[in-house]
Structure 1
Amino acid sequence: MEQLNQFLPFLLVFVVIYFFMIRPQQKKIKQEKEFEAGLKVGDKIITKSGFHGKIAELSEGTAVIETMSGKLKIERSAISLELTAAANKKA
């Protein structure tokens, strides 16, 4: 019984860390993967570095976007926001 009382604080700390740090991070990663999978050619996007463009081509892990100055090949994970759905929601 005394051993259980010694390990109870450690167990409680682990539970708190799980629910406040690990679980939300896993949820965020899942949402990002769903977002990347839902992208399609023709979507207007903004990259994490601030480039605005329209998706011209999609492949397994990369995307080619058309910008005012030409085409750029970027990683799908570099896309932070899809503007087409946001514009359709407002209308």
Structure 2
Amino acid sequence: MFISNAYAQTAAGAADPGLMGSLTTFAPLILMFVVMYFLMIRPQQKRQKELKTMMDALGKGDEVITVGGVLGRVTRVTDAYVTIEVAAGTEMVVQKNAVTGLLPKGTLKSL
């Protein structure tokens, strides 16, 4: 009396959702990947490119900071290593990829 009859859907209508049905199913996944690319992957690639150009441009006399926080002036650069003067007469050899940043000229006045 108060409840209407429920009819089952035919098999032909349920088996063919169409192109738009498939697209709307994967739309959130595609959107999530696009957002992740622009928020995480692209900035990291840009940062790696900047670090590589900075490492390639290292030269004698540049003032740098290493991963460990050591400040120093570059005295020699080879293909894989950089020699840094950390105090008068004290030098240390580090890998090129351990250099994280260039400091403005004149930052290290005590050397």
Q: Could you tell me the TM-score, scaled by structure 2's length?
A: 0.70
**Quick check: 1:70 aligned with 2:85?**
no
Distance in 2, matches of 1:81 and 1:2, equals: 51
Identity of aligned residues (%): 35
Q: What letter is aligned with 1:62?
A: Y
> Aligned Cα RMSD in Å?
1.5
Between the two proteins, the alignment pairs up a number of residues equal to 86
Distance in 1, matches of 2:28 and 2:71, equals: 50
**Structure 2 spans left out of the alignment, 5+ residues:** 1-19, 107-111
- Out of 57, 82, 87, which is 2:102 matched to? 82
Q: What letter is aligned with 2:105?
A: A
Distance in 2, matches of 1:52 and 1:28, equals: 21
Of Structure 1 and Structure 2, which has the larger fraction of its residues in strand? 1
Distance in 2, matches of 1:53 and 1:7, equals: 52
Distance in 1, matches of 2:29 and 2:59, equals: 47
Of Structure 1 and Structure 2, which has the larger fraction of its residues in helix? 1
Q: What letter is aligned with 1:61?
A: A
**Quick check: 1:27 aligned with 2:67?**
no
**Structure 1 spans left out of the alignment, 5+ residues:** none
Query: Which has the greater radius of gyration?
Result: 2
- Give the superposition deviation at 1:48: 2.0
- Out of 37, 55, 60, which is 2:74 matched to? 55
Distance in 2, matches of 1:76 and 1:67, equals: 16
Greater CA drift, 4-13 or 65-74: 65-74
Q: Could you tell me the TM-score, scaled by structure 1's length?
A: 0.84
Q: Which residue number in structure 1 is paired with residue 26 of structure 2?
A: 7
Distance in 2, matches of 1:2 and 1:52, equals: 59
